[in-house]
Amino acid sequence: MTGKAQPSRARPVWVAGALVLLAVTMVAGLLGGAADISPWQVVLQVVDWLPFVSADSGLAPVEQGLLYELRLPRVLVAAVVGGLLAMAGAGYQGVFRNPLADPYLLGAASGAGLATTLAIVLLPGTSASIPVAAFAGAVGGVFLAYTLGNAAGRSGGGTATLVLAGVAVTSFLTAIQTFVQQLKVEQLERIYSWILGDVGGGWDQLTLVLPYAVVSATLLLLHGRMLDVLSVGDEEAGSLGVRAGRVRLTVLVAASLATASAVAVSGLIGFVGVVVPHVVRRLAGSSYRIVLPLSLIGGAAFLVLADLIARTVIAPAELPIGVVTMFVGAPFFVGVLRMTRRVAT
């Protein structure tokens, strides 16, 4: 359990450090690729893109087009998706008071995955329905877990019951998704490529996810203090004038919107919502007023770096980004699980 929130340590310093880390990883992401472009030229070109600023990078038009049309939107999409997944994970952990809670444990990602698979199968000629389907599926998955957990929780179990309900819903929805995939084998390649994650869809991906990202991130950031109050327990929060049920529902909806928008444009990319918030808590304290913004920034840096590794580790071929996050996240998850059990005993 996450327990009572502890004060954050040197909040401005950690935010500044995280922003520097994000800037470094984004420049590295712009450098990564088959074309050899010097870091200084990349920096000058980025400066030249800024409003009211002019700088001569010395890059040929083809190289400028490579940076602007391929690498820049890819880095930005990875940053937005990583930030959303990490922040959603932190939000779920605050609601359920469990450091292992994340979008993939509570039915959000599996619901979005099933709905997107159905959209790909039933409407193969268009991608316009995928975001709507992903959001509906994510909200539906969390709603099922939340409803089942509340129903079972009336007889005891608390937040652990909600997490177990999420695991059951995730397993059920994943089974249905697998069944649908086997019925439509001609769509398997497209479905599997989506499941393994991809952030290389260009500016269209970024345009699609950005409005939802702004709304969900704003809602979650505004509820940081409320999540700190919830960490002391619902009864204590109620005595302080906080409506625990309303706060929990709002955070669940915002985290589900963040998950759905990320999944809609990038596919299923796991473990970001566990790895990043946990590292943030270990470094900067457990107050959600610092965990949420640092998870947003740290998740962005984490996924940009993961995408860079995916593009370069077996170049000129490319790994799915979800494979990279699984390599990092799976052993990390086991470590967190062991530490959580040790604390519980």
Instruction: Tell me, yes or no, whether 1 lies in a domain.
Output: no
Instruction: Tell me, yes or no, whether 3 lies in a domain.
Output: no
Give rounded-to-5 percent helix, strand, coil for the chain: 75, 0, 25
DSSP state for residue 7 in the 8-state scheme: P
Pair of tokens at residue 10: 């040197």
pTM listed for this prediction:
0.85
Residues in the chain: 345
Domain that holds residue 245: 11-344
The sign of the dihedral angle between the CA atoms of 57, 59, 61, 67 is: negative
**Residue 25: predicted pLDDT:** 94
Q: Output the DSSP codes for 109-167.
A: HHHHHHHHHHHHHH-TT-STHHHHHHHHHHHHHHHHHHHHHHHHHTTS-HHHHHHHHHH
Instruction: Give CA–CA dist 201/264, Å, rounded.
Output: 11
DSSP state for residue 8 in the 8-state scheme: P
Instruction: Tell me, yes or no, whether 4 lies in a domain.
Output: no
**Residue 9: predicted pLDDT:** 55
Q: Which amino acid is at 68?
A: Y
Instruction: Tell me, yes or no, whether 5 lies in a domain.
Output: no
Q: Output the DSSP codes for 273-313.
A: HHHHHHHHHHHH-S-HHHHHHHHHHHHHHHHHHHHHHHHHT
Instruction: Give CA–CA dist 34/66, Å, rounded.
Output: 11
pLDDT string in tens for the chain (345-residue length): 455 555 555 578 888 999 999 999 998 998 887 677 888 888 888 888 888 888 888 888 888 888 888 889 999 999 999 999 999 999 988 887 877 777 877 788 888 888 888 888 887 666 667 777 887 888 888 888 878 877 765 555 555 677 778 888 888 998 998 888 787 776 677 677 667 777 877 888 888 889 989 999 999 999 999 998 887 777 776 777 777 788 888 998 899 889 888 888 888 888 899 899 999 998 888 899 999 999 999 999 999 999 999 888 887 778 888 888 888 877 877 776 676 655 554
**Residue 20: predicted pLDDT:** 95
Instruction: Give CA–CA dist 252/137, Å, rounded.
Output: 14
**Residue 7: predicted pLDDT:** 52
CA distances from 207 to 214, 217, 319 (A): 12, 16, 24
If you search the block for the tokens 């946990």, which residue do you land on?
A: 278
**Residue 160: predicted pLDDT:** 64
Instruction: Give CA–CA dist 2/98, Å, rounded.
Output: 6
Tell me how many domains the chain contains.
1
Instruction: Tell me, yes or no, whether 6 lies in a domain.
Output: no
**Residue 36: predicted pLDDT:** 74
Q: Provide the b/e sequence for 87-99 (b: ≥16 CB within 10 Å).
A: bbbbbbbbbbbbb
Instruction: Give CA–CA dist 142/248, Å, rounded.
Output: 12
**Closest by alpha carbon to 270, among 259, 257, 285?**
259
The sign of the dihedral angle between the CA atoms of 180, 184, 185, 189 is: negative
**Residue 153: predicted pLDDT:** 59
DSSP SS3 for 34? coil
- Indicate which CATH number applies to the domain containing 93: 1.10.3470.10
73 contacts 202 by C-beta, under 8 angstroms: yes
Instruction: Tell me, yes or no, whether 126 lies in a domain.
Output: yes
320 contacts 290 by C-beta, under 8 angstroms: no
